[in-house]
Amino acid sequence: MKIAFFDSGIGGLSVLHHAMKLLPDEEFVFFADEDNVPYGTKPREMVMNFVDDVFRFLLTLDVKAIVVACNTATSVAVREMRRRYDLPIIGMEPAIKRAIDLYGDRRVLVTATPITINGEKIHSLIDRLGKRDIVDLLALPRLVDFAERQDFTSNAVTDYLREQFRPYCFEEYSSLVLGCTHFNYFKDTMRELLPDNVKFVDGNEGTLRELMRRLNLLPSNVTKNQKSKVEYYFSKRKVTSVEELHSINIYLDRLDKMFSI
Ligand code: DGL
């Protein structure tokens, strides 16, 4: 049986990309809800319906677990999906705890979509950690559109980020949390705008550790050159065209470059 990874769009490829390294012998389904992306600026009820529709579809595909590789969909719907469906469902949330565990009590800037930033889930996480005084939240919805257009480094991207980062005194920060899976594509562009003391933290590894724990899987310790078996879907349409598969490979190549930043 396969492991499904699902996102509103191509952001979730960053989690799948990491999974292919850790679990090269597994077979995967990747579902990008391209007909409905972006989720992060839409009403929560609408997103709940999108997610339920995707789950119903994925359950027809012989999957043994669903990874919601989308912080926004997790924030809105993961609790309800766990109530409705009986299989392991692994969600994602901005890796604020990891940032604090790694770098201590220096300031943390959490970037995510508006839904995630305004959702109750992230605020109860910050309160549980007792770290409201050092955590700042910043919504960067335009990065989702840029990523969907494969625009990662243009002047428009740099100008947008420069403007959004302007209010922060980054010397006081230990880290920037990538709280939306679409943001992993911009690490080099962000790196140019941030001082070296600001490290990137994402939730990919934690999510995959949870997946492996739930399915009793061990990470591979050999790097294999063979490509993992993945079936791709754009909404409910299986991706078979050379052009679209090529476009997915452009994203995966970019993620290879971003991996070590
Ligand atoms: N990639 C998604 C996340 O991790 C959100 C993108 C969107 O707005 O659809 O939150």
What pLDDT, on the 0 to 100 scale, is given for residue 119?
A: 96
Beta-bridge partner residues of 52: none
Sign of the dihedral through C-alpha 19, 114, 88, 34: negative
What pLDDT, in 10s, does the model give residues 112-141? 999 999 999 999 999 999 999 999 999 999
Tell me: pLDDT of 239 over 70.
yes
Q: Which atom of ligand 1 is nearest to the CA of 116?
A: 10
Residue 7 beta carbon below 6 angstroms from any ligand 1 atom? yes
Give the tokens for residue 117. Answer: 């930033």
Tell me: pLDDT of 222 over 90.
no
What pLDDT, on the 0 to 100 scale, is given for residue 191?
A: 98
For ligand 1, atom 8, the nearest C-alpha belongs to 40
What pLDDT, in 10s, does the model give residues 5-46? 999 999 999 999 999 999 999 999 999 999 999 999 999 999
Collapse the DSSP code of 13 into the 3-class scheme (helix H, G, I; strand E, B; otherwise coil) and give the result. helix
Tell me: pLDDT of 227 over 80.
no
Distance 244 CA to ligand 1 centre (A): 20
What pLDDT, in 10s, does the model give residues 185-221? 999 999 999 999 999 999 999 999 999 999 999 988 7
| % the chain with pLDDT above 90 | 94
Residue 204 beta carbon below 6 angstroms from any ligand 1 atom? no
What pLDDT, on the 0 to 100 scale, is given for residue 158?
A: 98
Q: Are 230 and 12 in contact (CB under 8 A)?
A: no
What pLDDT, in 10s, does the model give residues 45-76? 999 999 999 999 999 999 999 999 999 999 99
Average pLDDT, the chain: 96
What's the CA angle centered on 66, arms 9 and 238, to 5 degrees? 50
What pLDDT, on the 0 to 100 scale, is given for residue 38?
A: 98
